Amino acid sequence: MSRHTNGLAIETAGLVKTFGETRAVDGVDLAVPAGTVYGVLGPNGAGKTTTVKMLATLLRPDGGEAHVFGLDVVREADEVRARVSLTGQYASVDEDLTGTENLVLLGRLLGHGKKAARVRSGQLLEAFGLTDAAGRQVKHYSGGMRRRIDIAASILSTPDLLFLDEPTTGLDPRSRNQVWDIVRAVVAQGTTVLLTTQYLDEADQLASRIAVIDHGRVIAEGTKGELKASVGAGSVHLRLRNAEQRPEAADVLRRTLDAQVQLEPDPVAVTARVGTATSGDAAEQAARALGELARAGITVDNFSLGQPSLDEVFLALTGHDTHTPKKDEVPA
């Protein structure tokens, strides 16, 4: 690598993109270490796709700077394009062609010989569990198969940086897991992945670092642990012997922990947030709560103290949950 990159695959400073009145990306700073999965987490309309498109040279920024492997995405767009690949909310494969035809065609476009293109497409179709569907037109693929052929197409020649824009949105759990496995395999080969997602558990599963974006701004950035730690120490999850004791248990928890208590869909389950920075050690507080529950004659069958979920992180950072659109949001 000829450029000075500080080990970063992506570095942006004050990146801006406006569409009329909308500041879709409003001063984004990112530093994405090479060789990792970096998660960009945000709700609908947060600016994820717009950011990715600027980094992949498909959109020209209106302000700020972005470098990919030290290359300027505007002035050195061709060099950037040679090193990145993108899949996501836009088509790369042709619906009317079969799986094999698509991959062979794209391989030929990338300059592979006829035989090499066939061999590579066969390998990828097999690796992605699409061998049986190889001869079928892509328009007849299921959502999960479609997502997998999209990713297969984007790694025909191993890119240095792969953008995956919401690769699992709308997929069933099994297909999501298959895509996750593929992402892990791609990174194991040395490719850097920038993954956008609305799913907190997806970022949690795959990414080493996460930027949380909302309304075009990075509102938090760090490792998963750092993000969680910035929000609070954790949550106590309880399962009671008797569902009838739950209202009383919730009262005890509210009193002893001075915390938000949530009644779970499961009628014997209760969750309480504990240990904000000022209120002392989370384990100590949880122990005190258990003591109080026992004194009140409430039988606890199961108890765990966990780090907060990324959902809780988002709520704490933004004051709204990930699924509540803001009133000024234009539907995407």
Ligand X SMILES: Nc1ncnc2c1ncn2[C@@H]1O[C@H](COP(=O)(O)OP(=O)(O)OP(=O)(O)O)[C@@H](O)[C@H]1O
**Which residue's CB is nearer to ligand X, number 50 or number 154?**
50
Beta-bridged to residue 242, according to DSSP, are: none
**Closest-approach residue to Mg ion (CB):** 49
CB of 40 to Mg ion, least distance (A): 10
Stretch that binds ligand X, among 47-55, 120-128, 232-240, 286-294 (CB under 6 A): 47-55
**110 lies in the site for ligand X, by CB under 6 A:** no
The Cα–Cα gap between 31 and 238 comes to 39
CB of 58 to ligand X, least distance (A): 11
**55 lies in the site for ligand X, by CB under 6 A:** no
The Cα–Cα gap between 106 and 156 comes to 8
b/e burial code for range 220-247 (CB count within 10 A of at least 16 → b): bbeebeebbbebbbbbbbbebeeeebbe
DSSP state of 298: P
**Which residue's CB is nearer to ligand X, number 247 or number 325?**
325
CB of 251 to Mg ion, least distance (A): 43
Q: Which of 22, 36, 177, 262 binds ligand X (CB under 6 A)?
A: 22
Write out the binding residues for ligand X, residues 311-330 only, by CB under 6 A. Answer: 330
DSSP of 221-239: EEEHHHHHHTT-SEEEEEE
**46 lies in the site for ligand X, by CB under 6 A:** yes
Q: Which does 330 bind (CB under 5 to 8 A by kind): ligand X, Mg ion, none?
A: ligand X
**121 lies in the site for ligand X, by CB under 6 A:** no
Q: Which does 87 bind (CB under 5 to 8 A by kind): ligand X, Mg ion, none?
A: none
Is 212:227 a contact under the CB 8 Å cutoff? yes
User: 235: which residues sit within 8 A by CB, 6+ positions away?
Assistant: 271, 272, 273, 274, 305, 306, 307, 308, 309, 312
Number of chain positions touching ligand X (CB under 6 A): 15
**198 lies in the site for ligand X, by CB under 6 A:** yes
Cα 176 to Cα 168, 170, 183, distances in angstroms: 6, 9, 11
Q: Which residues bind Mg ion (CB under 5 A)?
A: 48-49
> Which residue reads 């993108």 in tokens?
86
Residues at the contact surface with ligand X, assessed by CB under 6 A = 19, 22, 24, 42, 44-50, 89, 198, 330, 332
